Structures are given as C-alpha cells and as structure tokens.
A and B are shown apart, each in its own frame.
Chain A
C-alpha cells in the first residue's frame, strides 16, 4: 500500500505553518474590516474614558495599559478562533491528522491573531511616544525593548490560556461570554490602567499573583512612570517569566488536542 509520502514526495510537511496562519489572519481582517477595528476598540474606548476622568499625567500609564490589555485580548481571539474552527467546522480534526503538532497549531493561531492586533499596537506605540514625551516619560530604546519583551511574554501566555480553555468549550454559545469574561476580569485585576498603589490593599495582594501585574510594573518602571530600582526591575522580570511559565504549563495540560 502506497504511503502519502511515496505518492506525494514533494509535498512540504514542515515550516509552512506560520506563513499560512499569517494569511489566515490577514484574510480575516481584510474581509471583515470591523474585525480589525473591534479589538482596537475596547482598549481605545477605555483610554478615551480614562483620559476624561483622570489626570493627564496618567495618560502614558493608561496607554501602556491599553497595549498590555490588547495583547492579553489576543487570548480571547485565540480562544474564539480555535473553538469556532473545532466546533463549527471540525477543522481541528484535520490539523490533528496533519503533520502539524499542537504547539505549532497554537503558535499559528496566536500569530494570525497577532497580525489582526498589530494595527492597534502600532497606533498605541505612536500614542505612547507622543504622550510620554509630553509628560516627561519618553519612550527610550531601553523602555521600548522592555515593552516589546513584556508584550511577547503576554502573547505566548494568553494565547496558551486561550487555546487551553477553548479545547474545553462545548458549544458556540459559550465562546464569546467565556472569552470576554476571562480576559476582561484578568485585565481589570491587574493594574493596567491605574497605578498599583491606587488599589485597595486586598486587591493589590491579589494582583501580585498575576503575570500582567509584573509586565505593567516592568514597563512603567522602564518608562519612569512608576519609579523602580534595578533590583526591583530584575525581580519583576523574574516574577513575570515565572508566572508566565507556570501559566503556560498549566494551560498545556488543560489543552486537548487529539483526544477529542
């Protein structure tokens, strides 16, 4: 009996996942312009609202919060895509049967959603450079590197959370509320849009268990919005990576792939 490899010897079986998912991400936003606007919308609406009710000096902190919140929301989109493909189209079965592993599938969906989110992140970076310069907290190259590194860690972590949860969802009706609830609550518990010190003590304690808190503190420290010593910055970085690693391991254990 002929195998697939002997019948189709030139079919590439590796290395095409990310470009394919890039096209998926691009097609999705190019065919549904509102989809490109909506992920930008919520952080921007929050930002607009905050700019009205809070002192202007907090604007750079709030823009950083909007960037981290946008990146965290990728989790909700990963959850939506993977659950929708699995439940509505039974597409995951095809991926399971293909040479694509579950980790590359995760990164593929995460990457396609990063494409959809990138306009929002670019706009917010521009806004941060403008507002930071105005408020005396400029976006230096070091601060930019810290910001990008924190966004990258959150991208991996929240994509893993999204796909882990999505593999347990049974009906389409659950997708949107679960994604919205999970990622908005996680975003609000962390001091993304306000300084950690402004929160009540109990809330501050709870926030210290969340990786997004350390991402926010790191970026705020790097920009000089919330003063932090080099030792504190290292501690925040270690805690961010540790929390993220623990989160990813837990989610990968939750994540069902072939055993559906």
Chain B
C-alpha cells in the first residue's frame, strides 16, 4: 500500500511530455479555431482604432492578457470534447499517464500552439506602447499567471458538462463577461470607481490594472496594487491546486 502511494507521488507528472506533444499536434491542425481565438480581440482593437485611437496602447495590452485568458476557454472546449464526444479521456487515463499530466499536457499543448498569435499581438503592442524591458517582463509574467488561472478554471469547468452543444454558450458567457466587461481593454478611469476593488480581484482586469499602473496610465495606490497582485497570486494558486486535485478526483469518479 505504501509502495503504491509512493509510486503515485513520484510519478505525478508521468506522461506529461508525451501528452503535451500529442495536444500540440492535435491543436496545430485547428487553424480555424486558432483564427477564431483572436476574433474578439481583433474586433475590439478595430473599434478602438476607428473610434478612439488614443486608447490603442491600453487595448493592445488588454488584448494580450485577454488572449491568454481565453486559452482557458480552449482548454474547456478541448477537455469536454475529448471526454464527451470521443470518450478518449478513459483511454488516455487507463494508461500509465497521470491525471495531472492529462490536465497540464492539454493546457500546455494548447498554450504552445495558441501562443503564436499572442506573440504577434505582443510585437504590435511593443510598436504602439514602446515598453521598457521591465514593463515587457511584467506583461509576460502577468499573462503567464492569467493563463495558469484560466487553464485551471477551464479544465475544472469542463468536467461539469454533459452536452457538447451547451459548452460554448456557457464558456463564452464566462470568458467574455470576465474578460471584456471589466477594464481589460480600456483604462480604469472609464470604469465606475466604486467597482474598482471588484475589477482588481478578477484576474484579467487585475493584471491589466497592474500593467496600466506600471505604464502610468492608471494611478493605483499601494493598497490597490497589493489587492490586485495578492488576489491574482492567491486565486491562481488556489484554482491551480484545486484543478490538480479535481483531475485526480474525476478520474476516480469515472
């Protein structure tokens, strides 16, 4: 009994590399889905470009963060599709691959493929905003944290669906409401001030607020910075650990 527990704990990420590469190959054939992943960002950038070009810098930063946030939607769709439509998760998890490798491999594979358009956005943003190295690094780190949060949320949510057809309706609702309504693509000054603490507790808008503060667009007090950064770290850690726990639990449940 102790031996088997030890085996599980030391091989928690068994099969991660192989499944990540499998997902890369699968996702690389989804050119249409890749193009679709940039649709909302492109539309909002067009709106800003035509109607208020002065906000283009903020909108580009928002587009980068939103893009990593919506990778969670992709994880949700993929995990649900593999489970409901193909029932392939049973096949994958009946093998030596661990449940956490299944979750992280899928999220990582999606990240590897979907990062390309985000890099293009990053280059365009650099041309508009002229980041310093520190600001560029801040955007990179915050985008990575937002990705980890949304991938974890997406994976956990995917296990609740029983019908493929309902997935995108609910996932669009979640990712658009949390990614577009709060000040991600626009400055905090356009958002009601009494709702600032709420926005600073939502990962995409918290990350956007921190970048806007670093760029001098949105003045944030030290307590607001602490709220945004602390909230982002705590929420991401909790959700990520829960996703790991949930991936193990759902395998046992199946």
Contact = CB atoms under 8 A, between A and B. Distances in A.
Interface of A: 32, 34-35, 37-38, 41-42, 45-46, 48-50, 52-54, 58, 80, 84, 88, 172-174, 176-178, 180-181, 184, 188, 193-194, 198-199
Given A172-B85, A177-B33, A188 B168 contact: no
B50 A184 contact: no
A54 B51 contact: yes
B55 A53 contact: yes
A88 B81 CA distance: 13
B131 interface: no
Contacts of B81: 173
A49 B172 contact: no
B169 A35 contact: yes
A106 B47 CA distance: 33
Given A54-B51, A54-B52, A176-B168, A49 B173 contact: no
Interface residues of B, number: 34
B47 A53 contact: yes
12 contacts: A34-B170, A42-B176, A53-B55, A53-B190, A54-B51, A172-B164, A177-B33, A177-B35, A184-B43, A188-B43, A188-B46, A198-B50
B160 to A, nearest CB: 12
B44 interface: yes
B181 interface: yes
Contact of A84 (B48, B52, B165, B172): B165
Quick one: which of A50, A53, A172, A173 has the most chain B CB within 10 A? A53
Secondary structure at the A interface, as helix, strand, loop or mixed, is helix
Given A49-B47, A49-B186, 16 more contacts: A32-B166, A37-B173, A41-B177, A42-B172, A42-B176, A45-B176, A46-B44, A52-B186, A53-B190, A54-B52, A58-B51, A80-B165, A172-B85, A173-B81, A180-B36, A194-B51
Contacts of A184: 39, 43
The 8 closest A-B pairs by CB, nearest first: A177-B32, A177-B36, A54-B51, A38-B169, A53-B52, A35-B169, A177-B33, A52-B190
Contact of A34 (B32, B166, B185): B166
Contacts of A38: 168-170, 172-173
B173 A34 contact: yes
Main secondary structure of the interface of B (DSSP, over half): helix
Contacts of A199: 50
B44 A49 contact: yes
A193 B47 contact: yes
Interface of B: 30, 32-33, 35-36, 39, 42-44, 46-48, 50-52, 55, 81, 85, 164-166, 168-170, 172-173, 176-177, 180-181, 185-186, 190-191
Contacts of B35: 177, 181
Contacts of A53: 47-48, 51-52, 55, 186, 190
B39 A181 contact: yes
Nearest to A80: B165
A80 B165 CA distance: 9
Nearest to A32: B166
B181 A48 contact: yes
Contact of A176 (B36, B46, B190): B36
A35 B165 CA distance: 10
Contacts of A193: 47
A176 B35 CA distance: 12
A91 to B, nearest CB: 13
A107 B157 CA distance: 35
A31 to B, nearest CB: 9
B77 to A, nearest CB: 8
A181 B81 CA distance: 20
A88 B164 CA distance: 10
A172 B46 CA distance: 30
A32 B180 contact: no
Contacts of B33: 173, 176-177
Nearest to A55: B51
A116 to B, nearest CB: 11
B212 to A, nearest CB: 15
A191 to B, nearest CB: 9
Contacts of A54: 47, 51-52
Contact of B180 (A37, A45, A88, A176): A45
A49 B185 contact: yes
Given A35-B166, A52-B190, A172-B85, A41 B43 contact: no
Contacts of A176: 33, 36, 168
Nearest to A33: B169
Contact of B172 (A41, A188, A198): A41
